[in-house]
Structure 1
């Protein structure tokens, strides 16, 4: 039976400890609730508009003209199942005003009058898209007119044709956000394709057939039929619900990464719950001991303190869910540059209920150890001032395993990937274990330091007072600061490498789709004979006879074996290449082998787990090609320089239809003039101003870094709550120390300086270790994953140390003010009572 007066009395006197506990619970689920609710809104918006996003119920995609058998199958199905289909063509090129010298790299989409089959291309004029776009006309993104200084009615040079700009696009359902594209989009009519002259042999074009069915529920069945006809490894058939657009992949990856940070915050908040609840129960130690001495049963006390914990947890869960909703409503300020227009941010009950349940379960899991410790308090502890120890007991180990299992399940649920979830759990444990080891040895060293000044010496001893959570505080703050610093350093190095500190000899203008018979003309236009790299597009279809699992590969969040590769041929290494396995490009092929030789880049070899002698089967423009891995290459420069995953001997691919790629390094002031000459003489050649693209990339990286930093700050707040909880947990010891200092003649400034030095040490120690670990993590990512040189940002590291040290000192000092101001007589009177 619950004794309500006792329960309410304990809640009323919980004070700051109860408030800290509630804040930790709220913090643990606030970001998770906000993210899950936002994720549901985005997915619901994208999935509900999936047909408009992809353009049809069934999408056939290829980098080559759609094969006649597949077109015949599509028409046959249309006649049987009902519906309609259209063809679209998308490619990149440089356009310029007929009267003007400016030029712009754009995405060109050639469509039929029926486009789009789903959704509506909204125009500035409000007219119907199908009635506006016709032969000799262009509908462009507003950015095209702005950057080229055009007005409606002006003529635009697109390839070999001159087209009139007749309207601008307000919203394109197939491109809800344009931040992922290399250039703005313009629409042209398929009637102008031949006159444009941009679909040459081997050009980088995307051919699609969009099929709209009278019965969309038949899409999966019909897609399976079309896959049987499609050219394997060249033509991809998907439905609107299974196709993954670039927008979907971006949001999946971004929310996936933010989920990491939210789970990390939950873990730190859980530690804060344990610390603050321990402080609350430690304050009730006398009440528990007296109650047991007077005959109160352990069950009564455990039930009531469990009730207090659950009640506070319920309040914290409600606050956390409300805070999550508030955070979510701030997302347009954070994500406004990437949220697709029309995405409704609503209050769906699913994520909110899930947040409440997760919050209560988090409370149960992380409160188990403090409640168990309180249950072990004996009446004699009141007289002996004993500290309850859990050493040698099995239940705490079992509870720790339960916590680990809960976190693993939560991670898997949040990331929606069992393998990655388990890897993340293991990685987090390894990361925190490393910090714990470093902190443990650091504290042992600090404890042995011979310190003479009285304030510093007493601050040193205060760090190791019984019940003080010094190690937990430093571990938590270190983990949060290390994550923030690693993100900052990674952003700094990416921007420094690709934008602000562009390598002097790195190319800054890429020229694509140069035809075989245009080589001399291209040399004449650019004024020199630059290196031309042959490009033949092909797909990898099997490894050692095992077909590539395209569905699984498309789920990868990094590079994938399912995409179409740019193959090339040559007989020597590039200047920035070395052989890491094998001797020479093609020197290890078996004499009795009937297969051709291929050299593989180490990055793709790691993805496919390739080794020397492996048999790879490619489909190159419909022709099967089997090759044997004879060498594995690595690169010594960053990815700003040209590279190819697969390199063949010249005699293997020289006769294949191909285009050529050139990477030029020009003075920044000469890039626009060179592009103008190339567009005028060779309109089919696409040029990419890498310097301009790098600037836009830098803006995107900066915005994303701010989003990530916003979520990482919650981890810092969790660390501060642990610090507050530690101060509250050791309140009695701190009161006693302050009283004794003052009784023996110590003045208030001495007590204040001891408190300042103690908390300053916590902040400095945490930030110093965080700088070491965060720098190591950023260096590893730069070296292993991004393949770029690492540069230390010493000002950022110094700012981390200084800001963290001062911030932790201020939080600790503010939490201790009431203790510092306590009069010795008041403390002695309470002790006498």
Structure 2
């Protein structure tokens, strides 16, 4: 106990001997924990809410969904269970409609017709603070603030939906089964379910989603009720979901969001690990004489290890706690910044689970990157008091084994965490491969630089500087390359997506999509839209089987990107202007008598479809099998309408269908078209693609801003690694500066050598970062978005030069105080 107290008493003296390095070590631990803790605090807060409010996300215990009116079998089973008192039900019907106000502008709204009982869980919040049942009566309409603003109406005004007229009475603030503001295509309006038939909008061929909400009388009866309802549903048309299912759009969006945020957090954690190692190497270089002296006076390696461990613990524990608090504040900031992308009402309270995870992961990660330099520090021999130059001692075998075992465990943990977030392990493997390739390239460049024949005094000084004891040029180049690459990749991705989605919207590209046109209305609609409008027939269908093998719709919907579990729109329009044949000589084959279908190539990323395969579709209860005769490919970056499945008219023409029209219009002409169509055809919906792109662009900018902040944190982590290397070589740098001054070097010579030294490492880092940015951005744009990639060499080159300038100025500025040490100061035993 007395020995331990003595060790604790010496900790302040250790702080006094190396305050700058101790603060650098603190900053590295703090930064890694703050980034990781911020993401985990946000994720766990959202996860707690999703678990606590799981039922409210479908407003019931379970629901039946269908794109058509419910079958007789399903309704008979529901009636039987309801009459027995085992369940309660409520109907919800959702569809898009054109709202026509007496005054104001016609606009698209998302209509939600609800019956008595909705919602069974959660609450629809209204501006008047009244209950939904009290306000929503037949003839009354409740709208979101966005809908009121777009339509230019106020409470008390009249609004027409289809053939029915409504009075706007209140404003909806939130609804339980639409937890994320960004989830909808159009602003929401509520009407009473008894008004649905009066609108005349739920007709054959219209895009309507029917939901039957089911609340259980007894929770223990859930399995039996689910089995009874599942047996009665029409296969391929009706679907039963419970509150535990992960098919909810909000849950899928949250999985995707936190998958990328976790990946960023893990990346920053790894970069900070290099900083932790570098700062400990610097600490070892500054304290090795003191450690050697302790051993000379009789201290055992165990006593030295305990002493240094207590000193490091005095830094790590406060850094972990400060990082956790900073992470909590970061989660609050991210929650506020991404309010539209997160569930409403997200609460950030104290979480013991988050604190424990932060301490375990942060502490374990710090220990992992500290173990090798700590082992070398403890192994410092007493003879180092008399020696100068690099310590040739190595870390113990046990320390090396533990380190590499910890690295393997780190990647396993990262893969597990990303998989829990609904992602793939592939990015972890890519990240590992990229780190290995970057490290190999950095080692090769550094070796090439140090072995290159020196030309002139400055060159020789710089080559020797890269070999100083404690210098870690490879680790510095790798960390700065990754950090710079992340920043440059984000710039490049933003530029490409902006160019392809926003800046490159050609004048003749259709921006108005007119849907749900009945065949009998085509001539009249065509007269209003004009001759430039393009018409496409549409038949709604689901894929039931491929080569007679049934499609698992539930498993398909869990896939990222597109899938075969959703509803598709079939057409017989033929190949589009922006499509080319990828496989097959012609779109269809004249010598085949059976039904034929042409597919878009991108759907094969989800399911391995080939020419010759047979696809079975379910069209309003009727099955049809077609053979794949060709594969089409869209032109990269095209914003024109497209259909995944294209059939012949003689195979599909007799199926119930609607028409879809596309045209280009804006300004006053667009307002007139929308008004005329809404007044004459109440069933028709008009979607403004430019408005959708603008709204999604706003969300993309928010996400880009968040990723930009993370990339700057990563860049900061790289800077800390750089500072660690400079701190480790400060003493030798000062000694070299004194020797150079003695032999006649002036300030200019020292400054030039300092700039050249940092410039070489910075050039290697920025060059590798340039390659990382091109590869990463190209992968995301091509594979993630399926778009053409422009490398933007000029833009990225300018940003790289700017990054190099920042690195050189910062590195030279930090290193200059030790480089500027004068001989007189060295004699007095101090440096500037």
- State the TM-score, normalized to the length of structure 2: 0.92
RMSD between superposed Cα atoms in Å: 2.9
Look up the match of 2:259.
Answer: 256
Query: How many Å apart are 1:378 and its aligned residue?
Result: 4.1
Look up the match of 2:19.
Answer: 15
Look up the match of 1:162.
Answer: 165
Equivalent residues of 1:123, 1:167 under 8 A apart: yes
Equivalent residues of 1:52, 1:118 under 8 A apart: yes
Equivalent residues of 1:376, 1:388 under 8 A apart: no
After the TM superposition, which of the residue ranges 424-433 and 755-764 deviates more from structure 2?
Answer: 755-764
Instruction: Name the SS for the 2:707 alignment partner.
Output: helix
Deviations 1:318-343 (CA, angstroms, capped at 9, x unpaired): 22212212222323442234344322
Equivalent residues of 1:121, 1:172 under 8 A apart: yes
CA distance in 2, matches of 1:628, 1:307: 72
Counterparts in 2 of 1:471-490, with a 5 A limit?
471-490=474-493
Look up the match of 2:780.
Answer: 781
Aligned counterpart for 2:209 among listed residues 206, 211, 224: 206
Equivalent residues of 1:104, 1:148 under 8 A apart: yes
Aligned counterpart for 2:551 among listed residues 548, 551, 557: 548
Residues 1:369 and 2:368 are matched in the alignment: no
Look up the match of 1:574.
Answer: 576
Look up the match of 2:814.
Answer: 815
CA distance in 1, matches of 2:571, 2:153: 40
CA distance in 1, matches of 2:354, 2:222: 30
Look up the match of 2:76.
Answer: 72
Instruction: Name the SS for the 1:633 alignment partner.
Output: strand
Look up the match of 1:770.
Answer: 769
CA, structure 1 residues 13+660, in 2 after alignment: closer, same or farther (shift >3 Å)?
same
Deviations 1:186-237 (CA, angstroms, capped at 9, x unpaired): 1122222222121222211111001112224533542233222212222121
Query: How many Å apart are 1:159 and its aligned residue?
Result: 1.6
Residues 1:33 and 2:37 are matched in the alignment: yes
Equivalent residues of 1:783, 1:790 under 8 A apart: yes
Look up the match of 1:614.
Answer: 613
Look up the match of 1:632.
Answer: 631
Look up the match of 1:467.
Answer: 470
Instruction: Name the SS for the 1:162 alignment partner.
Output: strand
Residues 1:196 and 2:199 are matched in the alignment: yes
Look up the match of 1:142.
Answer: 145
Residues 1:329 and 2:332 are matched in the alignment: yes
Counterparts in 2 of 1:27-176, with a 5 A limit?
27-100=31-104, 102-176=105-179
Query: How many Å apart are 1:91 and its aligned residue?
Result: 0.7
After the TM superposition, which of the residue ranges 413-422 and 237-246 deviates more from structure 2?
Answer: 413-422
CA, structure 1 residues 129+369, in 2 after alignment: closer, same or farther (shift >3 Å)?
same
Query: How many Å apart are 1:795 and its aligned residue?
Result: 7.2
Equivalent residues of 2:38, 2:331 under 8 A apart: yes
Instruction: Name the SS for the 1:467 alignment partner.
Output: coil
Look up the match of 1:235.
Answer: 238
Aligned counterpart for 2:500 among listed residues 497, 501, 504: 497
CA distance in 2, matches of 1:392, 1:812: 29
Counterparts in 2 of 1:263-278, with a 5 A limit?
263-278=266-281
Instruction: Name the SS for the 1:559 alignment partner.
Output: coil
Aligned counterpart for 1:352 among listed residues 349, 352, 355: 355
Look up the match of 1:184.
Answer: 187
Look up the match of 1:679.
Answer: 678
CA distance in 2, matches of 1:125, 1:537: 40
CA distance in 2, matches of 1:237, 1:443: 61
CA distance in 1, matches of 2:87, 2:327: 44
Equivalent residues of 2:532, 2:663 under 8 A apart: no
Look up the match of 2:603.
Answer: 604
After the TM superposition, which of the residue ranges 37-46 and 791-800 deviates more from structure 2?
Answer: 791-800
CA, structure 1 residues 257+501, in 2 after alignment: closer, same or farther (shift >3 Å)?
same
Equivalent residues of 1:761, 1:805 under 8 A apart: no
CA, structure 1 residues 619+374, in 2 after alignment: closer, same or farther (shift >3 Å)?
same
CA distance in 2, matches of 1:220, 1:388: 69
Query: How many Å apart are 1:754 and its aligned residue?
Result: 2.8
Instruction: Name the SS for the 1:252 alignment partner.
Output: helix
After the TM superposition, which of the residue ranges 303-312 and 651-660 deviates more from structure 2?
Answer: 303-312
Query: How many Å apart are 1:395 and its aligned residue?
Result: 6.0
Equivalent residues of 2:64, 2:211 under 8 A apart: yes
Residues 1:537 and 2:540 are matched in the alignment: yes
Instruction: Name the SS for the 2:637 alignment partner.
Output: coil
Deviations 1:109-152 (CA, angstroms, capped at 9, x unpaired): 11124332333322223333223223322111122222222122
CA distance in 2, matches of 1:451, 1:162: 87
Equivalent residues of 2:259, 2:422 under 8 A apart: no
CA distance in 2, matches of 1:36, 1:588: 59
Deviations 1:462-507 (CA, angstroms, capped at 9, x unpaired): 3443432222222112212212222232223222222233123321
CA distance in 2, matches of 1:189, 1:413: 46
Instruction: Name the SS for the 2:215 alignment partner.
Output: strand
Query: How many Å apart are 1:509 and its aligned residue?
Result: 0.9
CA distance in 2, matches of 1:436, 1:587: 54
Query: How many Å apart are 1:32 and its aligned residue?
Result: 1.6
CA distance in 1, matches of 2:312, 2:282: 13
Equivalent residues of 2:255, 2:422 under 8 A apart: no
Instruction: Name the SS for the 1:179 alignment partner.
Output: helix
CA distance in 2, matches of 1:616, 1:716: 50
CA distance in 2, matches of 1:588, 1:758: 72
After the TM superposition, which of the residue ranges 694-703 and 172-181 deviates more from structure 2?
Answer: 172-181
CA distance in 2, matches of 1:230, 1:75: 13
What stretches of structure 2 of length at least 5 have no aligned partner? Answer: none
CA, structure 1 residues 817+216, in 2 after alignment: closer, same or farther (shift >3 Å)?
farther
Instruction: Name the SS for the 1:305 alignment partner.
Output: helix
CA distance in 1, matches of 2:426, 2:790: 28
Instruction: Name the SS for the 2:558 alignment partner.
Output: coil
The alignment covers a number of residue pairs equal to 826
Query: How many Å apart are 1:406 and its aligned residue?
Result: 2.0
